[in-house]
């Protein structure tokens, strides 16, 4: 019981109800903790991609700020870290897939621009990024507009290839965990071209997702 309590306290090191599901810290190069204004992340500086990104979503986060489209490097990361440049995606057939998505941060210009940091991107097929992944994002905003507060985690696992001529891995799967006052969703999407349009068809158990990711979700 004591170990469980201590572990729970250890997880609660991030603001606004976000748990540090991997024990990320600024001392690690493969599990580097980076806390932004609008989200928090664990970043793998050797692989060149986020392990996970987490954020909260309420109606106050959704406003009238237009999409900035200012993709740029994350200068807050250590210089030794590998981070994909937006040019690395050219002619690869993969989208710059947001983890914390732009439309969840349309309350202020700064927070919207922050979602376009390249550390917040994963290579996703257009069919995933603009298909069930996007529909799930829209569903979450629908709940937030109804007054619910959501906590969302997102990331990618595995490697099916490399991005262009870089060492950046293309995830085999992209996942999300969404906490609402009424239900928790755990979802695992193959990063492929042939996908079912209904995001709910990719639901998995919390135990399965924890086993595949190695993280402990609250």
Q: Is the pLDDT of residue 11 over 60?
A: no
63-81 exposure pattern, b = at least 16 Cβ within 10 A, e = fewer: eebeebeebeebeebeeeb
* Domain of residue 104, CATH code: 3.40.570.10
Secondary structure, 3-state, 105-146 = HCCCHHHHHHCCEHHHEEEECHHHHCCHHHHHHHHHHHHHHC
Report which of 182, 187, 162 is spatially closest to residue 172, judged by C-alpha positions. 162
Residue 2: per-residue pLDDT? 35
Domain-embedded: residue 182: yes
Find the radius of gyration of the CA atoms of the chain: 16
175 in Cβ contact with 185 (< 8 Å): no
Domain-embedded: residue 25: yes
Residue 129 CB burial class (10 angstroms; 0-12, 13-18, ≥19):
buried
Phi, psi (deg, nearest 5) at residue 128: -80, -50
Q: Which domain holds residue 41?
A: 2-213
31-81 pLDDT, tens digit per residue, is 999 999 999 999 999 999 999 999 999 999 999 999 999 999 999 999 999
Q: 15: pLDDT confidence band, cut at 50, 70 and 90? A: low
Mean pLDDT for all residues in the chain: 92
Residues labelled as active-site residues = 98
Domain-embedded: residue 31: yes
Domain-embedded: residue 17: yes
Percent residues over pLDDT 90 in the chain: 89
Q: 16: pLDDT confidence band, cut at 50, 70 and 90? A: low
Q: Is the pLDDT of residue 1 over 70?
A: no
β partners of residue 1: none
Domain-embedded: residue 96: yes
Residue 17: per-residue pLDDT? 75
pTM: 0.92
Domain-embedded: residue 179: yes
Percent residues over pLDDT 70 in the chain: 93
Average pLDDT over residues 171-199: 97
Domain-embedded: residue 218: no
- Using DSSP, state whether 28 is helix, strand or coil: coil
128 in Cβ contact with 195 (< 8 Å): yes
Q: Is the pLDDT of residue 9 over 70?
A: no
Residue 5: per-residue pLDDT? 35
140-162 pLDDT, tens digit per residue, is 999 999 999 999 999 999 999 99
Domain-embedded: residue 79: yes
* Number of domains making up the chain: 1
Report which of 164, 167, 166, 215 is spatially closest to residue 188, judged by C-alpha positions. 215
């Amino acid at each position: 019981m004591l170990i469980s309590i201590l572990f729970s306290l250890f997880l609660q090191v991030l603001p606004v109800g976000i748990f540090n599901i991997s024990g990320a810290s600024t001392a690690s190069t493969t599990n580097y903790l980076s806390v932004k204004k609008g989200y928090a992340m664990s970043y793998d500086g050797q692989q060149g991609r986020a392990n996970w990104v987490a954020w909260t979503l309420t109606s106050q986060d959704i406003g009238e700020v237009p999409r900035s489209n200012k993709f740029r490097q994350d200068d807050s990361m250590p210089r030794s870290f590998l981070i994909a440049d937006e040019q690395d995606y050219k002619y690869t057939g993969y989208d710059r897939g947001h983890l914390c998505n732009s439309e969840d941060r349309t309350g202020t210009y700064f927070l919207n621009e922050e979602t376009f940091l390249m550390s917040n991107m994963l290579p996703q097929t257009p069919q995933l990024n603009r298909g069930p992944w996007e529909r799930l994002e829209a569903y979450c905003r629908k709940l937030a507009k109804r007054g619910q507060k959501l906590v969302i985690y997102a990331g990618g696992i595995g490697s099916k290839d490399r991005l262009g001529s870089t060492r950046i891995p293309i995830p085999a799967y992209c996942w999300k965990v969404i906490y609402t006052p009424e239900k928790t969703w755990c979802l695992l999407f193959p990063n492929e071209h042939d996908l079912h349009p209904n995001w709910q068809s990719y639901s998995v158990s919390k135990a399965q997702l924890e086993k595949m990711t190695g993280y402990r979700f609250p």
